[in-house]
Amino acid sequence: MRQSDPDTTATGGVDISTPHIDRAWRDTFVIEHRLADRTGAEIGDALATVDAHCAESGESAPDAFGDPTAYSRSLVDGTPARTFRLRPATVIGLVLGLFGLVAVPRAVDAWVEGTRVAVSQGDLVAVAAALVLTLLVALRPGPALALLVRHRWTTFTLPFVVLIALIVPQALLRGSVAEFAWGTVAAIGVVALALQVVLTWADFAEPDQLIDPRQPAPGRTALQWLTAFIFPFLTVLVLGMDVIYRAVG
């Protein structure tokens, strides 16, 4: 039986020790339980039970409990149904982060070129498309997550679909609707990014990590810090790429 090394592959960023469970079996079980909106404490307790049984019996997890997907669903069946929903703070933070990610680089470009920030018809259509996609994910995150996890090809095609939905309108509809001073757009964009960090961090005030009942409660993880600051990080990355492009060009 191949033992599982303690890691953070699919365990929500927490080093939960399950040395008697095969890593692939454990990760599949965790994903299925996450899709069923089970808490980190519940998942950790279930994994501890499996690991303890395998340690005592000498059986592997597949031999003792069968397919991880089927076993996970057997534990969920008969328990109160849960409807996974993104918190309002998360949704608002996502929208603000997307706005800041677009607004700040465009403001900087306008500053460098000595122009104003023009808002086109395509920009409005792209924003509407982004809001629709965000609302779809916010209202039905469970099915969206399940689609990405169970049909891996969607992970590769979805970014292209999103890019097409955002770029094509801006390329075809160039008529200007309004213009704003670059300083105003930059200030609003920076405030949006700051609010995104605050709202996302507040959402992690009580992080739902996997908790091994046999171990002390874990603290915050680097992944949570990265998630909270992801949009400012992406904005700086875009600005850096723009600087490189201007230098090379």
Q: What is the pLDDT of residues 24-71, one digit of tens each?
A: 898 888 888 877 777 777 888 888 889 889 989 999 999 999 998 899
pLDDT value of position 234: 83
The residue ranking higher by pLDDT, 196 or 226, is 196
Asked if residue 197 has pLDDT above 80, the reply is: yes
What pLDDT does residue 104 have? Answer: 92
Helix/strand/coil for 78: coil
How much is the pLDDT for 3?
41
Residue 16 in this model has a pLDDT that exceeds 80:
no
pTM of the model: 0.59
Residue 163 pLDDT: 67
Mean pLDDT along residues 116-135: 84
Band of pLDDT at residue 150, cut at 50, 70 and 90:
low
Residue of higher predicted confidence among 81 and 153: 153
| Least confident among 87-91, 211-215, 222-226 | 211-215
When the pLDDT of each residue in the chain is averaged and rounded to a whole number, the result is 77
Say what the pLDDT of residue 111 is. Answer: 94
In this prediction, residue 143 carries a pLDDT of 61
